[in-house]
Structure 1
Amino acid sequence: MNLLTGATGLVGAHLLAQLILNKEKTRALFRTENKKAQAISVIVKYDITLQEIENKVEWFQCDILDIPKLENAFKNISHVYHCAGFISNSPSDYKMMRKVNIEGTANVVNLSIDFKVKKLCHVSSIAALGKPLVGDKVTEETPMAEDQKPSAYEISKYGAEMEVWRASQEGVDVVIVNPGIILGDGFYDSGSGTLLAKLKSGLKFYPPKITGFVGVYDVSKIMIQLMKSPISNERYILVSENLSFKKVGNYFSDLYQKPAPKTRLKPWMLYIAWFFEILRSFFTSYKRQLTLEVIPSLFEDSFYSSEKIKKEFQYNFKTLEEYADEIYKRS
């Protein structure tokens, strides 16, 4: 049986739908009934009936930080898909992000070792990868430089990967995927879903940045292929295209008939916004999102190579237009 952490998140819900279509039995971890219902609303859009969900999914209410409950979730499990994680740019969330992403992953790893799980697939991020020399693309071999000044999120995802590699040293076959910005339907209140929500309503401002994008539909399919393959102890960048935020914004604006983003952000705008966020956070419970580490990255292009997964699996990613059309149809 499969174990799926983070089953009620963007990747987890779409992955669970693919596993059901593959007739695989899965124990899916969830924290609240509301999130579970949200995941089911995504799954049924794959033309999967509620009866099929009941037959193939064993819902298990559990937090990955709750070790006794998590231990019970690992009984009779052979394969683990670890999708649970915490995403935030807010400095006030740093401790929680480390706790969930690093300590939570350590819990999953420790129990995978104890229960002699055959294979573990971990969803990381391109944020955990290094930065190449100017003009080069980031590959799976690009090292994290000491002078990179990573954000809190990057630190937590890198730390989580270190825990997963530890599992590989303890006899568990592992694979890691590093997706770009993930586009997909159903979750618009957290992570990359907040970007998608803004794209659908129309962006006024856009950062002059190019980065990697990928659809959740490709991410979930590739994860299953990797788990069924004999490949182990490898990582794969999952990026369909390296695109500018302006191009992505323009396409979604046309699709949803919203005004296209016209104002190019400049560094001084964000530094002023950062200053006012500081003031606002002092006098209210507002969680600021901008940090001095994040602002420069919004003006640095990053290009990612998915040649490794394309070559080894002859995999053809969908394009932005195909992702956007699928999201539009499911909206």
Structure 2
Amino acid sequence: MVLVTGGTGLVGSHLLLKLAMQNVPVRAIYRSVEKLEQVKKTFSYYTTNVTALYDKIDWVQGDILDIPSLDDAFQNVTHVYHCAALISFSPSDFNILDRVNREGTANIVNMCIAKNVQKLCYVSTIGTIGRTSTSLAADEETEFNRQFANPYAITKHLAEMEVWRGAQEQIQVVIINPGVILGPGYWENGSGSFFKTAHKNYSYYPPGGSGFVAVADVTAIMVQLMNTDIHGERYIVVASNNTYKEVLEMISRAMNKKAPYKKLQPWQLQIGKYLDLLRHLLTGKPRTITHSTIHGLLHPTTFDSSKIIKTLDYTFEPLENSITFSSRIFMKEHAE
């Protein structure tokens, strides 16, 4: 039996679809019934056989912070895909990020040890890959530095340390460090904001860029790694390094919208940071523009995926293919 945590998220739902289509016995953890509807919707983007595939999954209600529910979920499990995480870049959310991302991962690792799980695949982030001070691309050996890291990256780095602890306890582990993951259906958070931004015809785009990858590539690589004898390794999973301007232009083109053409200047970002702080103080909503955010925008890093390409002889899907597919779904769901 294969267990998937975070099965109602972007990566988890796509992974479940892939495993169900391959007839892999799979169990998934969910927290609320409402989130299960998004999984069905995600399945519907790719198949008309939604109900049959969805019913192949053994759904267990639980939480990675709730040990008794994990004990139920881990019964007869041999392989675990740990996709569950909390994403926030707001310093005020550090404690809850630490609980979910570090402590939650520690719980998963402890259950893997206790239940003699054969292999664990952990979905981390390129945020835990160190930044380079030169034009050279960062790779898996580039040392992580907390100085300009956001709270999410820090807690995911701590979570990776828990996974490596599991490796020392004889659990076979692999870690993937995907870039910004693009895919359909989760428009209200994460990379979904790119599609919402392009749809609104904003004139401004942020400076900098990042590594990007289609969700289909992420899940394909996860499954391939789990089906090999490879363990004790981590892999950057980035299809291409792009500026945010380039990505927004691709989405705008796919939506037949006007692309943003004005780059936000450093002084505008600084003003935005203080306005964002004021909004946070007045409303309690998480901050989105912080010191670390601005530093990342003004000092972008490129990422080297050659290790995973060589290991699996893997060819990434062109990013524009995924963007076009996702944009069409977005437009259909947001038809005026």
TM-score by length of 1: 0.96
Name the counterpart of 1:243. 242
> 2 CA distance for matches of 1:195 and 1:157?
23
Verify: 1:43 aligned to 2:25, yes or no: no
Give the letter aligned to residue 276 of structure 1: L
Give the letter aligned to residue 281 of structure 2: F
Name the counterpart of 2:168. 169
Name the counterpart of 1:308. 307
Identity %: 42
Q: Matched residue pairs, number?
A: 330
Verify: 1:192 aligned to 2:196, yes or no: no
Deviates more, 1:7-16 or 1:257-266: 257-266
Name the counterpart of 1:109. 109
User: What's the C-alpha RMSD, in Å, of the aligned pairs?
Assistant: 1.4
> 1 CA distance for matches of 2:101 and 2:323?
29
Q: Please list, as runs of the form range in 1=range in 2, the aligned pairs for 1:259-274 lying within 5 A after superposition.
A: 259-274=258-273
SS class of match (2:36) = helix
Name the counterpart of 1:19. 19
Q: Does the 8 Å contact 1:202/1:261 carry over to 2?
A: yes
Q: Please list, as runs of the form range in 1=range in 2, the aligned pairs for 1:179-218 lying within 5 A after superposition.
A: 179-218=178-217
Q: Please list, as runs of the form range in 1=range in 2, the aligned pairs for 1:145-160 lying within 5 A after superposition.
A: 145=145, 148-160=147-159
Q: Does the 8 Å contact 1:183/1:196 carry over to 2?
A: no
> 2 CA distance for matches of 1:258 and 1:314?
37
Q: Please list, as runs of the form range in 1=range in 2, the aligned pairs for 1:218-297 lying within 5 A after superposition.
A: 218-297=217-296
Deviations 1:17-58 (A, max 9, x none): 110111111111111111111011101322152442254200
CA, structure 1 residues 191+328, in 2 after alignment: closer, same or farther (shift >3 Å)? Answer: closer
SS class of match (1:217) = helix
Give the letter aligned to residue 206 of structure 1: Y
Deviation at 1:290, TM superposition (A): 1.6
> 2 CA distance for matches of 1:85 and 1:189?
16
Q: Does the 8 Å contact 2:198/2:259 carry over to 1?
A: no
Q: Does the 8 Å contact 2:254/2:328 carry over to 1?
A: no
Name the counterpart of 1:7. 7
> 1 CA distance for matches of 2:201 and 2:234?
35
> 2 CA distance for matches of 1:264 and 1:236?
32
Deviation at 1:119, TM superposition (A): 0.3
Q: Does the 8 Å contact 1:4/1:83 carry over to 2?
A: yes
Q: Does the 8 Å contact 2:178/2:236 carry over to 1?
A: yes
SS class of match (1:298) = helix
Deviates more, 1:20-29 or 1:51-60: 51-60
Deviations 1:234-291 (A, max 9, x none): 0110000001111111111111011211110111111111112222333333332221
Deviation at 1:329, TM superposition (A): 4.3
Deviations 1:130-157 (A, max 9, x none): 11230111111111136x3311111111
Verify: 1:76 aligned to 2:37, yes or no: no
Deviation at 1:301, TM superposition (A): 2.2
> 2 CA distance for matches of 1:22 and 1:329?
26
Give the letter aligned to residue 322 of structure 1: N
Q: Please list, as runs of the form range in 1=range in 2, the aligned pairs for 1:81-100 lying within 5 A after superposition.
A: 81-100=81-100
CA, structure 1 residues 230+7, in 2 after alignment: closer, same or farther (shift >3 Å)? Answer: same
Name the counterpart of 1:133. 133
Deviation at 1:91, TM superposition (A): 2.1
> 2 CA distance for matches of 1:279 and 1:254?
34
Name the counterpart of 1:58. 58
Give the letter aligned to residue 286 of structure 2: K
SS class of match (2:140) = coil
CA, structure 1 residues 202+165, in 2 after alignment: closer, same or farther (shift >3 Å)? Answer: farther
Q: Does the 8 Å contact 1:149/1:293 carry over to 2?
A: yes
Deviations 1:96-134 (A, max 9, x none): 111100000000000000000000000000001111230
> 1 CA distance for matches of 2:70 and 2:143?
33
> 2 CA distance for matches of 1:222 and 1:137?
21
Give the letter aligned to residue 23 of structure 2: K
Q: Does the 8 Å contact 2:31/2:62 carry over to 1?
A: yes
Gaps of 5+ in 1: none
Q: Does the 8 Å contact 2:148/2:295 carry over to 1?
A: no
Q: Does the 8 Å contact 1:4/1:80 carry over to 2?
A: yes
Q: Does the 8 Å contact 1:10/1:186 carry over to 2?
A: yes
> 2 CA distance for matches of 1:327 and 1:165?
35
Name the counterpart of 1:325. 324
